[in-house]
A and B are shown apart, each in its own frame.
Chain A
């Protein structure tokens, strides 16, 4: 730890990035490629903020690790999108269709991961507590 670490400001930054993810989560169900990509970047920034915490918060590790998996899935989805776009531009329709199909599969997997994190005792429970967020599904 370096000097008097301003824990509160780190907490606020995590809360800000988590809020951004929550605001953009709709992309997983209704978003186009750009929206999904923006959501992925928001998740990545949240993960980076969690990895930087000083001192490290072990109880936030499940959230960090889920975000890593989620970013990987969305990263693969982005690669498929880019390949499909390139294939479309270069008149390669079979490859474009395959890229699109694979992209949808990765986004579906990311959607499932994101949803499970919000269940009771899920990966985001501790994160929500740390960010001082509360939600009521009743």
Chain B
């Protein structure tokens, strides 16, 4: 059981490392960010369910959770920006002006959050 859990965690760690490496090579890619975040989410779930059996440290689980949250913030800005842009296509007047403001804000936020995530990954 321990061996199996360790192997499961190991497999997810490898996948996550590869996804993070790919994202760091091209940090502006929304696709690569999404992939890295998905891997982090899956790894986090595996650690929640099997971390104790596999003997992984609490510090490692916390680091993964922190990275997942950070990646989530960039992804959030990305997704909200996409939705706001889609709304803007058929909006006019006041609503269009509102959305223009929100898009500018979300773009800035995405940039800031991406920088924070990259800093966290370097740490």
> CB within 8 Å of B: which residues of A?
2-6, 9, 13, 44-45, 48-49, 52, 54, 79-80, 82-83, 86-87, 90, 92-95, 98
Q: What chain B residues lie within 8 Å of A6 (beta carbons)?
A: 1, 4
Sample of 16 further A-B pairs with CB below 8 A, known A2-B4, A44-B41, A95-B84 = A2-B8, A3-B4, A5-B4, A6-B4, A44-B45, A45-B45, A52-B46, A54-B4, A54-B8, A79-B83, A80-B83, A83-B102, A86-B102, A86-B106, A92-B98, A92-B101
A-B contact pairs, 6 of them (CB 8 A): A2-B3, A2-B4, A9-B1, A48-B45, A52-B8, A95-B84
**Once the chains are docked, how many angstroms separate the CA of A13 from the CA of B48?**
11
Q: What chain B residues lie within 8 Å of A5 (beta carbons)?
A: 4
- In the complex, the chain A residue whose C-beta lies closest to that of B1 is A6
A-B contact number at CB 8 A: 65
Q: What chain B residues lie within 8 Å of A95 (beta carbons)?
A: 84, 87, 95, 98-99, 102
Contact-residue size bin, chain B (C-beta under 8 Å from the other chain):
20 to 34
Q: Is the interface of A mostly helix, strand, loop or mixed?
A: helix
